[in-house]
Amino acid sequence: MSSEDKAETTEHSLRGRVALVTGASGGIGHALARALARDGAAVAVAYGIGRQAAESVADSIIAEGGRAVVVGGDLSSADGPVRLVQEAEKKLGPVEVLVSNAGRGERHTLEDLTVEEFDRTLAINLRAPFLLAQRTIPDMSERGYGRVLFMSSTAAFIGGIVGPHYAASKAGLHGLTHSLASRFASSGVTVNALAPALIANTGMLPGMPEQLSAQIPLRRLGQPAEVADLALSILRNPYVTNQVISIDGGIHPG
C-alpha cells in the first residue's frame, strides 16, 4: 500500500469520531457498536429496554481498549430521541455518526392490526429516526462532517411477512433518507439506509431458522457481523450517500 493509499484509509476511518447507535443491545446493534469502536469511534450504546445487555456491549468495547458509554431512552415518545442525543453528547461530545438501528416488528395481519400498534411501530421505526436526525444533522452540517445510517428492511421493497405497519414504517425511512441526503450532501454529511432481511440472533425472525433458510437464495441466514461490516464500509466512505442498500442473501435483487 502506497503512502497516499495509507493516508486516504486513515482519513476515511472513524477514529476519534463520536457515534450514537440506537438498539445497540440487540444482535445487529451489538455488532455495529463493536465494529465502530474497533474503527476508533467513541460509541454511545443506546437502549430502550435491556440496560444490562447494553452495559455488556459497552463493557466488551472497553475491554478491547475502546471507548463506550451507555445511554437510555424511550424512542416511542416524542421527546425520547432528543433526550437520548443530549445524554450521549453530555458524556462523549457532539454526535458525528448516527446509526438509527432500533426497531419494532411485532407480527400482525391487516385484520388484527390495531391503530395503537400501527402508531407505536411508526413512532419507533420512523418518527424516532426523524427526530434523531433533526437533532443531530444541522450540527453535523455546521461542522462540515456527518454520517447517518438508517436501518431499514427488505420488507420496505417487497412487503415482507411481519405486516403492513412494519413495511410502511421501513419504506418511510427510504423517503427520509433521500430527502435528507439531497439536502445535506454539500455540507459533508452523508445519509444512507441499509435494508437487511432474515438476520440471525436479532429477535426479529418470523419462523424457525431452518424453514427461513430455504427461502433465501444463499440458503442461510445472514449474520449480524456481516451487516456491521457493510454498515462500516458505508459510514467510512465519503462518496456514498442517498443510497438504500440491501443485505438479504439475494431475496430482493436490487
| 73-107 per-position pLDDT tens digit | 999 999 999 999 999 999 999 999 999 999 998 99
List the catalytic residue out of 47, 145, 166, 239.
166
Residue 103, in any domain of the structure = yes
Name the grid cell of 32.
455495529
Instruction: Kindly provide the residue ranges of all beta strands, DSSP E only, lying in the chain, ordered along the sequence.
Output: 18-21, 42-47, 67-72, 97-100, 146-151, 189-196, 244-247
Residue 237, in any domain of the structure = yes
Residue 254, in any domain of the structure = no
* Residue span of the structural domain in which 208 resides: 3-247
Mean pLDDT, rounded, for 204-232: 81
Give the list of residues 6+ apart from residue 233 with CB closer than 8 angstroms, or none.
none
Q: In whole angstroms, give the CA distance from residue 9 to residue 7.
A: 5
Residue 252, in any domain of the structure = no
Q: What are the phi and psi torsion angles at 41 (to 5°)?
A: -80, 150
Q: What's the structural domain count of the chain?
A: 1
Residue 202, in any domain of the structure = yes
Name the grid cell of 233.
464500509
CATH number at residue 40: 3.40.50.720
**Is the per-residue pLDDT at 8 higher than 60?**
no
Residue 17, in any domain of the structure = yes
The size of the chain, in residues, is 254
What is the band of 206 on the pLDDT scale with cuts at 50, 70, 90?
Answer: low
Asked if residues 194 and 234 have their Cβ atoms less than 8 Å apart, the reply is yes
**Is the per-residue pLDDT at 6 higher than 50?**
no
Residue 235, in any domain of the structure = yes
Let me know if 47 is a catalytic residue: no
Residue 53, in any domain of the structure = yes
Q: What is the dihedral of CA 54, 42, 245, 1, to 10 degrees?
A: -140
Please, what is the average pLDDT of the chain? 91
**Is the per-residue pLDDT at 138 higher than 50?**
yes
Cα Rg of the chain, angstroms: 17
**Is the per-residue pLDDT at 53 higher than 50?**
yes
Name the grid cell of 124.
419507533
What is the band of 153 on the pLDDT scale with cuts at 50, 70, 90?
Answer: very high
Higher pLDDT, 25 or 224: 224
**Is the per-residue pLDDT at 5 higher than 50?**
no
Instruction: Write down the pTM of the prediction.
Output: 0.92
Give the list of residues 6+ apart from residue 65 with CB closer than 8 angstroms, or none.
none
Q: In whole angstroms, give the CA distance from residue 186 to residue 169.
A: 28
